[in-house]
């Protein structure tokens, strides 16, 4: 076992009754201090993995350790050091946001009742709900409920924060706020394990990532290294997109798409000189305003790994 890993699994497997394999032999290593993105389409096994890590369900085979302790055996000593938001928060609609947090905190045997109100106020402030603290939870929007669940996870200092699709239901401003909060928590030394089906979310906020598909781990490592392993895309900016696409297609460029004045395609192989492609466009009378190979994204890496697209925007 890796002593610097906050989460580590070896051969972790979950087979449900009826034979459905939800997680298949998962070997995962989450370094301490990372913001770790657990990436995959809905149904790829992310939530099942998180439920095993948190001791909510037993694995069929394999092992998992969290904060250096075996799970689920050490759940009683580990879970007080972990803040978790899994499948959305369970809230009492008839209670205010503040009273929901007070109830959460009262149920925690490690929580000091003398500092309860101050900690609840600080958690509400941190997730941007201080103004809505007295409002009943049933009147909260989906995004506000998600933030209240995050506040519950932040009532105590945590070594590890586990967030399952934390920006589900949030508008773009809410997503930005959650991303800023995750960065701030990481800067304070908390390891954040964040599952998402949004590639751009992982790319913007995570230092490391793992990619899941159909219950299996495809790859893991630093985000920059995962993207660097994929080839970028050729991009041409031109007021003549149709002509540019035709010209590139004739010269073997595949997977062409046109969005307004932007034409993109698969990056050419090493046998093709970029300067020759640019010269061919100009010869054909295409007005070229921009030309080059863009850095590969996580989306490119995912497509390269699986041969299929990904739900990028949700």
Other CB atoms within 10 A of residue 114 CB: 7
Residue range(s) occupied by CATH 3.30.70.100 in the chain: 233-294
The pLDDT value recorded for residue 293 is 77
Residue range(s) occupied by CATH 3.40.50.300 in the chain: 5-227
C-alpha span between 147 and 152 (Å, rounded): 9
Mean pLDDT rounded to a whole number for the chain: 86
Sign of CA dihedral 83, 106, 69, 22: negative
The pLDDT value recorded for residue 229 is 60
Which tokens hold the place of 226?
């995962």
Query: What CATH code would you report for 5-227?
Result: 3.40.50.300
Once rounded to an integer, what is the mean pLDDT over residues 210-222?
89
Spatial contact of 38 and 210, defined as CB atoms under 8 Å apart: yes
**Predicted confidence band at 103 (pLDDT cuts at 50, 70, 90)?**
very high
User: What is the DSSP-derived secondary structure letter of residue 126?
Assistant: H
C-alpha span between 26 and 194 (Å, rounded): 17
Share of the chain above pLDDT 90, in %: 39
Tens digit of each residue's pLDDT (9 = 90 or more) over 114-129: 999 999 999 999 888 9
Tens digit of each residue's pLDDT (9 = 90 or more) over 225-282: 776 666 667 888 999 999 999 988 888 888 888 889 999 888 777 777 888 888 889 9
Query: How is domain 233-294 classified at the architecture level of CATH?
Result: 2-Layer Sandwich (3.30)
**Predicted confidence band at 23 (pLDDT cuts at 50, 70, 90)?**
very high
C-alpha span between 252 and 244 (Å, rounded): 13
**Predicted confidence band at 302 (pLDDT cuts at 50, 70, 90)?**
low
């Amino acid at each position: 076992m890796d002593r610097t890993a906050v989460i580590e699994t070896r051969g972790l497997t979950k087979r449900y009754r009826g034979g459905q394999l939800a997680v298949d032999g998962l070997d995962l290593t989450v370094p301490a201090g990372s913001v770790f993105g657990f990436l995959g389409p809905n149904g790829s096994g992310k939530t099942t993995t998180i439920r095993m890590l948190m001791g909510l369900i037993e694995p069929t085979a394999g092992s998992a350790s969290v904060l250096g302790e075996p799970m689920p055996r050490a759940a009683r000593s580990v879970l007080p050091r972990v803040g978790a938001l899994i499948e959305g928060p369970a809230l009492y609609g008839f209670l205010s946001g503040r009273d929901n947090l007070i109830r959460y905190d009262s149920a925690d045997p490690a929580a000091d009742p003398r500092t309860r109100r101050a900690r609840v106020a600080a958690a509400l402030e941190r997730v941007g709900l201080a103004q809505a603290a007295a409002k009943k939870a049933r009147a909260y929007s989906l995004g506000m409920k998600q933030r209240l669940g995050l506040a519950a996870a932040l009532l105590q200092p945590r070594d590890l924060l586990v967030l399952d699709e934390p920006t589900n239901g949030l508008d773009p401003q809410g997503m930005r706020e959650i991303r800023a909060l995750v960065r701030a928590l990481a800067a304070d030394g908390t390891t954040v394990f964040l599952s998402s089906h949004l590639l751009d979310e992982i790319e913007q906020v995570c230092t490391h990532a793992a990619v899941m598909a159909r219950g299996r781990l495809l790859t893991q490592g630093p985000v920059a290294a995962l993207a660097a392993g994929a080839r970028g895309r050729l991009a041409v900016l031109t007021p003549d997109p149709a002509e540019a696409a035709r010209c590139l297609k004739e010269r073997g460029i595949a997977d062409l798409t046109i969005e307004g004045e932007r034409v993109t395609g698969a990056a050419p192989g090493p046998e093709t000189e970029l300067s020759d492609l640019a010269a061919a466009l100009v010869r054909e009378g295409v007005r070229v305003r921009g030309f080059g190979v863009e850095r590969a994204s996580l989306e490119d890496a995912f497509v390269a790994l699986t041969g299929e697209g990904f739900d990028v925007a949700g």
